[in-house]
A and B are shown apart, each in its own frame.
Chain A
Amino acid sequence: MLNMNNISRIYQSDTIQTHALRDFSLNVKAGEFVAVTGPSGSGKSTFLNVAGLLDNFDRGQYELDGVSVQGLKDDELSRLRNEKIGFIFQNYNLIPDYSIFDNVDMPLRYRGFNASERKRRVEQALEKVGLASRFKYLPSQLSGGQQQRVAIARALAGEPKILLADEPTGNLDSLMARQVMEILHDLNKEGATIIMVTHDPDQAREVNRNVQVIDGQLADFKIYAPLDRTSENSGKTVSAAVSASIAEEMENA
């Protein structure tokens, strides 16, 4: 599905060259749910930008759903993003002036669907995230979790090949985060390919594959995990985090 081979991304400022990604290789198969972790500044954001065709790269090969992306024109990249990728951002990135419906509808318009097809897809997607009744609301009238679910609906509506989630629960409290994660897991069970960047080791554990980016390179989790302080601690915090989230859920109930 996604195949990166020796990707390098170099940021050039006046005096310094920064290798955000160096010889980065990753292969994600259809139906996988991959969590990408790593300390801040490790290059995981750059990885996501490159994977999502938002940013270009300097060296290497990248194949997305059988299409080799290097050398593609800007318009072709736009088309690939629109058709093959569904984005879920940390801060939802909904357009505040638009209703829920118009937000989900927006990428479909760029796809060129007719009105009835768009309507069908928008309704279906909102159904899936449980917000079908709120389609007239503005984003500001919804809670953070609901907004993120709208963003997921927007990503799903185009029936993408792959979902790219960038810290999807970063701005949410644990209960809402839970709901969002469950939706993602459900989608994965239905066969969706998901790559999720996260700093939360608990979330990383839940998924079927876990990769770590350090200094712009892919680190084999199993090899480096014991040496990594955060991963070492993660074992202890899992149960605590889960019990905390349950406690909160009780409170809310």
Chain B
Amino acid sequence: MRSDSLFVYNLTLAMQSFKRAPTLYFLIMLTLSIGVGVLCANLALVNSMASDPIPEKSGNLFHINMNTWPDDQPPDEPMHILRYRDAMAITASDLPKRSAVFYASGVYARDAESTSMKRFDSDVRATTPGFFELTNAPFAYGSAFQKSRGMEIVIGDQLNQKIFAGKNSVGKTLELDGELLTIVGVLKPWILRPLFYHPTERRAFNLTDDIFAPLETAIDLGWSIHARSSSAVDYAGIEETRDKDVYYLQVWVELGDVNQKPALQSYLDNYSQQLKDAGEHPLAIKNELHNVNEWLKVNKVVDQKVLAFTLASILFLSVCIFNASSLLLSRFHAAKFEVGLRRAIGASNRHMLMQGLTESVLLGLFTGVIALVLSWLFLKLSVQFLPRLTNLAVLEPKLLVLGMLLALVTSIASALYPLYRANRYTISAELK
């Protein structure tokens, strides 16, 4: 009860203190909240970039790099894009629980029954059916297509919104570059940050695809490759690529047990060795398996520029803390007389400390609120300057809490030395 009322008393004192030097406290709050806001906005970007998009099984999903280029001038060693037959050899193994083989394409889409000729530019993932379970793609309506060949597609929420206003479109037909394909499944809004299944070619922060089509059908229809491809031979269209040395497919596998990784590795190495023995490539046996987080790391999805800027914002925040500290020091010095008086009439050192802390916690809370607003603003501003990061600019609840904590910690940190000094004033006053 007593400490309760003392707490309230401390609060009133803090408010009075703010009122007595409003400019000074305003400056402290402003500088601290700018510092926290800038850092928080950056951390939001870094957080989006560095987070694990599929934590439930990121350790069990592996991206496969292989080294099967037919001559001694491979574009990369090993390559993250594979040839059709290499990819198929992997899916033939029964080690993985499931696998996904895909490439990125693009088509223009319209509702085949619509009178409007308007077509929507749509990103396509031409993939084997294992993709949906492997990536935990969330279905709103219908289900995945079951085979790699068939005039069936699954569409994403955004495209479904654009063409069918978000209604259940299962069974409808889309005209895609002149071909008619039937929708068998519609996904829920699906946000992957980063887009772990395709972080190469700076796509880590693209949205998930609009259309998912069976791989063989896409190849047959000649849907062109919209991502990195390398070929050791000339070819006229993707239709011809199945038995040519054209590298464009990415392969992911899901292992039921991470301990199977060495087995899979030796399966791949065996396969490469057989090719080599047959004289199909001269390269070293070099196949790599990366789980989701390793693969994101290999591809440096965390923007180095943002990291550099985060570093600068940390320095900036420290400058803000130093600033707040010297401002508080002058404030406490000005209140020296009052502190002396309170000590003289019996306030203990602990009381004075509590009063000071109450004040800085209160200051920290105010700062936190302003900082959160500012960090939202800075986030929008950063995206203005760095448009590539637009899809990343989200303030998750986690970051709001972090921002608040940062504000509290900085506020208390900047008050520590001034408080220590203020308590020493009283001692010297007593000595006089």
Direct contact between A and B in the complex (CB less than 8 angstroms)? no
Chain B interface (Cβ < 8 Å from any Cβ of A): none
Chain A interface (Cβ < 8 Å from any Cβ of B): none
